[in-house]
Amino acid sequence: MIKPHGSDILQPLYVADPDARAKLAQEADTLPSLLLNSAAAANAVMLGAGYFNPLSGYMNLADALSVAADMQTTTGLFWPVPVGNLTRETGITAGRRIAIRAPPVEGNPVLAGRDVEAVETVSDEQIATMAGQIFGTNDAGHPGVATFTALGNQLVSGPIQVLNYSYFSSEFPGTFQTAVEIRGEIEKRGWNKVVAFQTRNPMHLAHEELCRMAMERLGADGCIVHMLLGKLKAGDIPADVRDACIRKMVDVYFPPNSVMVSGYGFDMLYAGPREAVLHAVFRQNMGATHLIVGRDHAGVGDYYGPFDAQTIFSEQVPEGALAIEIFDADHTAWSKKLNRVVMMREAPDHDKDDFVLLSGTKVREMLSEGTAPPPEFSRPEVAEILMAHYQSENA
């Protein structure tokens, strides 16, 4: 199986031993607490689950600045996006042991114990510089920039010991999986070449066919549809609805033991190319050998070029930095000429009218009105789930 990023074996920060975990939880009740924001809590979940291997905790300011600028830590580890704990909280000092608590869960239970190595003030200028480097813009209208610049100016760094996975394991018990669990499932299924498909949306016919194309062209043993379960921007489809849509599509239209449906506990960054590289890092950690990177991967609005998330791998990721390989994909759509889904770049004799293309706005309007998109765009079973969701929202 493919090695994790940066180490020979996966090093999740979740305390797996029940006795040790109970002891740490008991200790946490006596410690000063720091209530995390959603971004820092999601980082803790990803660290605990092994997705952010080989990091041992939250980055300090020197590492955060280095990663934002050059995609590597001060020790030379390749990493595309800072993994920090920016906060507005005061009263925490270096050298202390503290308990960190998860914000979206009732009662704010302890998420992890941690040793505080440093508490550093990040200037507004440094925040702005990092935002520009990570997101490629400082426009406050960009949802990732807006979130990042509002987190606070106190950076609390140091190793952590994760005690639970916040709300992800309880709200998505059949879907949320750690990198450790996914590696185990890959091994159990006997897969060697594994394609990962990132999604934060329900999958329509074009997405389904893209997964099928990648598996066939790569000779892959299977595909992992790996959905984000964390915080999205307003208007995006809730995770439970996406989950139901994807599972229905896989159950009906893929052969047994060809597709895994899984999810991970992280908030969407909308960082385009940088986030695509982060996706590759943690898909390697979970055991995937290939990641599908399509048009405008992890993008939002018009902030990135349609294929910037592909070219970053050839132009900015150092050779040998990652073991996972990228499957470059174009926009896929139903061809009226060929009566099948194709990558648009592979149909040079087509013009726009030769494809079945619907805008997101148009699809939402149709679903809200109880009208299913055409079968060339969406599977009827998926459309039925989405129509029920939109109609319940409008009731």
Asked if residue 315 is part of any domain, the answer here is yes
Asked if residue 10 is part of any domain, the answer here is no
Rounded to a whole number, what is the largest CA-CA distance in the chain?
69
Active site residue 138: no
**pLDDT value at residue 395:** 62
Give which of 261, 295, 262, 264 is closest to 278, Cα–Cα. Answer: 264
Asked if residue 69 is part of any domain, the answer here is yes
For 224-274, the pLDDT digits (tens) are: 999 999 877 666 788 889 999 999 999 999 999 999 999 999 999 999 999
Of the three residues 125, 148, 169, the one that is the final residue of a domain is: 169
Say which residue the tokens 């009218």 belong to.
Answer: 353
Provide the number of structural domains found in the chain: 2
Of the three residues 142, 169, 196, the one that is the final residue of a domain is: 169
For 184-233, the pLDDT digits (tens) are: 999 999 999 999 999 988 899 999 999 999 999 999 999 999 999 987 76
Find residue 336's DSSP bridge partners: none
Catalytic residue among 153, 201, 212, 364: 201
Name the helix (H) or strand (E) containing 175: none
Q: What confidence tier does 164 reach under pLDDT thresholds 50, 70, 90?
A: very high
Phi, psi (deg, nearest 5) at residue 137: -160, 160
pTM, rounded to two decimals: 0.95
**SS3 annotation, 258-319:** CEEEEEECCCCCCCCHHHHHHHHHHHHHCCCCEEEECCCCCCCCCCCCCCHHHHHHHHCCCC
Name the helix (H) or strand (E) containing 66: helix 61-70
- The pair of three-digit structure tokens given for residue 260, joined into one six-digit string: 């895994």
**pLDDT value at residue 187:** 97
Active site residue 201: yes
Asked if residue 3 is part of any domain, the answer here is no
For 1-36, the pLDDT digits (tens) are: 999 999 999 999 999 999 999 999 999 989 999 999
Query: In terms of domains, do 129 and 190 share one?
Result: no
Query: In terms of domains, do 48 and 161 share one?
Result: yes
Of the three residues 122, 146, 169, the one that is the final residue of a domain is: 169
Catalytic residue among 96, 97, 200, 364: 200
What is the distance between the alpha carbons of residues 1 and 4, in angstroms, rounded to a whole number? 9
